[in-house]
A and B are shown apart, each in its own frame.
Chain A
Amino acid sequence: MRDLAKRRLQENLSQSLKYLVLVFNDFFILALIFLFGALMFWYAQAMKSMPESLWYYRPLVGILLWLPLLIGKLVTLLKPADLQFLLPEDENLASYLQPMLIYSLIVPTICLVLMAGIIFPFATIKAKIGLLDYIFAVFAVFLAKVLQLKVMEYNLYFNRKISILILNILFLLLLGWGMFKPQSMIIIAILLAAAVFILVLKPRHAALFDWQYAVGQEEKRKNVVYNAFSMFTDVKERQTNIKRRKYLDFLLPKNLASENPHKFLYRRSVLRNPENINLIVRMTAFAVLISWLVQNWVWALCLSCLVVFLTIYQLIPMVDEFDNNIMYRVYPIERTDRGLDLVSAIAGILLAQWLIISISWLITLPINLHLFVAMGCLVVFSWGVLRLYLPAKVKKRK
């Protein structure tokens, strides 16, 4: 089982590296350098003007150090097929999970070191925490992470499940309160080390391994990772969890007379497929935010036009979303006007996007004639991209 774990970890690492290379491309690295530089510049300026030793500085350090605890769950790399093929291996799972736990510590530890490094000047200069106390505090957070992962491992068996949420709140209180007296960090670290020691040395779980729960948890964890990657690149392993969203049913036509199979399918996909609706919500929120930031109607119009274009552009793959469904191919559905059907299906949503952006302009920008001209221009632009660009692009896709 240990060999299997090592093999799976190796495969997982190469898969993650493949996606990380795509995520951290040259442009993203450049953007990150700028963002980090800007943040550090602001931090350095703030450090100069910040008063010293305010009462909340120390617990704030505790809370900031606690944040990396929220990153990373126990990686088990269990697969649905394991329910069948590894079912009699309950007794050997401890040796399988041991390297998994060590692997699970890598990302949270990197995040913790980064966080500890960033807030170090603030903690030592402004919050007046001694170097040794600070090191113990960071070590205590590391031990808390180990403990949290051990509890996640414990939960994989048919034991009474321990809430990770409650555990995290407990750690938050411990670090927040403990930081009021940084000297107590050494005691907290010793207590956490003792807890980890007990859990590691504890006789192996007498309980049965909860396979269904373990596989389900791993699928959820993987989906979170894939969702993060999918913001930058296509992730074929990602599963889409459709949501019913009954409260949006009022947006669907009541009778079938004006419908055809494509419009019928696309409308529901827009509302229920998280990939589509999240994209529209995200892009609309982005347009509102940048309009507010630029505080100028010309820039707001130009950037909002870009957002509308990108929204429509990213919705184009919806046109062949159902191509891999056998029933879609068996049903007598004409495929000639798919582009126009997609236009009909998303027109209402784009109108809502325009409305929200326009309302946000009225609230955040100076109201004058130019603003109303910009609203008119935005709706004409949206209409043009939707009615002219999208069908042409769909035709090209064929």
Chain B
Amino acid sequence: MTLKIEHLTGGYIGVPVIKDINLEIKPGEVLGVIGLNGAGKSTTIKHILGLLRPQKGKITLNGIDLAAQPTKFKRQVAYIPETPVLYSELTLKEHLQLTILSYQLDEKQAWAKAHELLQMFRLDDKLDWLPIHFSKGMKQKVMIVCAFLANTELLVIDEPFTGLDPLAVANLVELIKNAADQGKMVLMSTHILANSVQAVSRYAVLNNGKIAAAGTLAEIRMHYALKETDSFDQIYQILSQEQQNA
């Protein structure tokens, strides 16, 4: 029961953004992917979601190869994008119904969970709203509710904290921790380290499209020779210097 990314090289046509990436996420693990803008975080995520075709390498989830069985693979993956993407034709309730249909969930159980999540994010009285009436933060909350409703083995979260109010950030961190406790795998890309440290069990530092370091918070600090008194955010300055030296 793992997500395995083996020797992944990819990006856009003619522009390889990530080079020979190897990653593994085990059940109950929350992997935080960190790095500067353009380091390859979102590109890695797009490959895991099957939105980009790898130039080299392989991605498997619980033994299911993404390239060979895309629908079976996707049924085990839920995604929260950086910029919320909703169907303009569907109300909030219908987004939840579409999630139930797509992930073939038990309707009764799914609705019980949905109501819990809707209450948590204060959306329970907005079931009949179209996305056009939601603020950016509310749209992001809809994405979170749909992703956690899907109850998948792997949760992919891209920059989840931007646009959310502090209460929603705390709720999201709690949900991620609970998911990990239930043995789910979480891959999260973020810049806001202060929030991520509460939930992340292991980090992968991406720089220039390559994994520069991977390990626990303590291991990453040691790798970059950060003192105990140093802020973890200093890692970005080091990465920037490494980019300039490269």
Which A positions have Cβ atoms within 8 angstroms of B? 240, 242, 244, 246, 256, 259-261, 264-265, 268-269, 272-273, 322, 325-334
Chain A residues closer than 8 Å to B85, beta-carbon distance: 325-327
Q: Which of B100-108, B160-168, B181-189, B202-210 contacts A (4 or more CB under 8 A)?
A: B100-108
B230 at the interface (CB under 8 A from A): no
- Across the interface, do A273 and B49 meet the contact criterion of CB distance under 8 Å? no
Segment of B26-34, B69-77, B171-179, B237-245 in the binding face: B69-77
Cα separation A240 to B131 with both chains bound (whole Å)? 13
- Which residues between 87 and 137 of chain B lie within 8 Å of chain A, taking CB atoms? 87-91, 94, 97-103, 107, 128, 130, 132
Residues of B near A261 (CB, < 8 A) are 98, 101-102
Q: Once the chains are docked, how many angstroms separate the CA of A272 from the CA of B94?
A: 13
Q: Does B79 contact A (CB under 8 A)?
A: yes
Residue from A322, A332, A333 having most chain B Cβ neighbours under 10 A: A332
Q: Does A264 lie within 8 Å of B89, measured CB to CB?
A: no
Q: Are B51 and A326 in contact (CB under 8 A)?
A: yes
Q: Which of A242, A326, A334 contacts B132 (CB 8 A)?
A: A242
B169 at the interface (CB under 8 A from A): no
Max count, chain A CB within 10 A of own CB: residue among B71, B98, B107, B128: B98
Q: Determine whether the beta carbon of B130 is less than 8 Å from that of A332.
A: no
Q: Could you say which residues of chain A place their CB within 8 Å of the CB of B77?
A: 330
* A326 and B81 form a contact (CB under 8 A): yes
Q: Give the nearest-CB partner of B133 in chain A.
A: A244
A–B Cβ pairs within 8 angstroms, 10 of them? A240-B88, A246-B128, A256-B97, A256-B101, A264-B97, A264-B98, A329-B51, A332-B74, A332-B75, A333-B102
Chain A residues with Cβ below 8 Å from B94 are: 264, 268
**B217 in contact (CB, < 8 A):** no
Q: Which of B89, B91, B101, B130 has the most CB of A within 10 A?
A: B89
Q: Are A322 and B87 in contact (CB under 8 A)?
A: yes
Point out the residues of chain A lying under 8 angstroms from B100, CB to CB: 256
Residue from A244, A259, A322 with most neighbouring chain B CB atoms (10 Å):
A244
Q: Please give the distance in Å from A13's CB to the nearest CB on chain B.
A: 31
A264 touching B75 by the CB < 8 A rule? no
Q: Which of A322, A328, A330 has the most CB of B within 10 A?
A: A330
Cα separation A67 to B176 with both chains bound (whole Å) = 62
How far, in angstroms, from A250 to B79 measured CA to CA in the complex?
32
Minimum CB–CB distance for A334 against chain B, Å: 6
B86 in contact (CB, < 8 A): yes
Residues on the B chain within 8 Å of A322, using CB: 87
Chain A residue nearest in CB terms to B83: A326
The count of residues in chain B whose C-beta lies closer than 8 Å to any C-beta of chain A is: 29
Interface residues of B in 44-59 (CB under 8 A from A): 49-51
Extra A-B contacts (15), CB below 8 Å, given A331-B102, A332-B75:
A244-B130, A256-B101, A259-B101, A264-B101, A265-B87, A265-B89, A268-B89, A269-B89, A325-B87, A327-B81, A331-B98, A332-B71, A332-B72, A332-B74, A332-B102
The winner among B49, B50, B101 for most chain A CB atoms within 10 A is B101
Bound CA span A261–B100, Å: 9
Closest A residue to B91 by beta carbon equals A244
- Residues of A with C-beta under 8 A to B99: 331
Q: Which of B198-218 contact A (CB under 8 A)?
A: none
**B89 and A242 form a contact (CB under 8 A):** yes
Q: Which residues on the B side are within 8 Å of A264 (C-beta)?
A: 94, 97-98, 101
Expressed in whole angstroms, the Cα–Cα distance for A303 and B66 within the complex equals 50
> With A and B bound together, what is the CA distance between A327 and B79 in angstroms?
8
Q: Identify which of A246, A273, A331 gathers the most chain B CB atoms within 10 Å of its CB.
A: A331
Question: Is the Cβ of A330 less than 8 Å from the Cβ of B49?
Answer: yes
Distance A330 CA – B50 CA, assembled complex (angstroms): 7
CB proximity of A126 to chain B, nearest CB, Å: 51
B98/A265 in contact, CB under 8 A: yes
CA–CA, A246 and B79, complex, Å: 30
A27, chain B: closest CB distance, angstroms: 34
**Residues on B with beta carbons closer than 8 Å to the beta carbon of A329:** 49-51
CB atoms of A242 and B102 under 8 A apart? no
User: Closest CB of chain A to B92's CB: distance in Å?
Assistant: 12
The answer to whether A330 touches B79, judged by C-beta atoms less than 8 angstroms apart, is yes
Please give, as numbers and ranges, the residues of chain B lying within 8 Å of A333 by CB-CB distance: 71, 102
Asked if residues A327 and B101 are in contact (CB atoms below 8 Å), the reply is no
Residues of B near A240 (CB, < 8 A) are 88
Which B residue sits closest to A273, measured CB to CB? B89
Please give the distance in Å from A45's CB to the nearest CB on chain B: 50
Question: Who on chain B is nearest to A246 by CB?
Answer: B128
Per a CB cutoff under 8 Å, which of B86, B87, B107 touches A256?
Answer: B107
Chain A residue with Cβ nearest B132: A242
In angstroms, Cα B90 to Cα A260, docked, is 15
Chain B nearest Cβ from A327, distance in angstroms: 5
Give, as a whole number of angstroms, the nearest-CB distance from B27 to chain A.
20
Bound together, the chains give a CA A268 to CA B86 distance in angstroms of 14
A331-B107 Cα distance, complex, nearest whole Å: 17
Bound together, the chains give a CA A246 to CA B129 distance in angstroms of: 11
A331 and B89 within 8 A (CB): no
Q: Is the CB of B90 within 8 A of A268?
A: yes
Considering the chains assembled together, what is the distance between the CA atoms of A215 and B217 in angstroms? 47
Nearest opposing residue in chain B for A268, CB measure: B89
A-B complex: 5 closest residue pairs judged by Cβ atoms: A332-B74, A332-B75, A331-B102, A242-B88, A268-B89
Determine the chain B residues whose CB is within 8 A of the CB of A326 once the complex forms.
51, 81, 85
Q: Is the CB of A330 within 8 A of B89?
A: no
Minimal beta-carbon separation of B155 from chain A (angstroms): 12
| A261–B105 alpha-carbon span in the complex (Å) | 13
- In whole angstroms, how far apart are the Cα atoms of A244 and B93 in the complex? 13
In the complex the two chains form, is B98's CB within 8 Å of A272's CB? no
In the complex the two chains form, what is the Cα distance from A306 to B88 in whole Å? 32
Cα distance, A243 to B132, chains bound together (Å) = 10
With A327-B86, A327-B87 already in contact, the answer to whether A260 and B101 are too (CB < 8 A) is yes
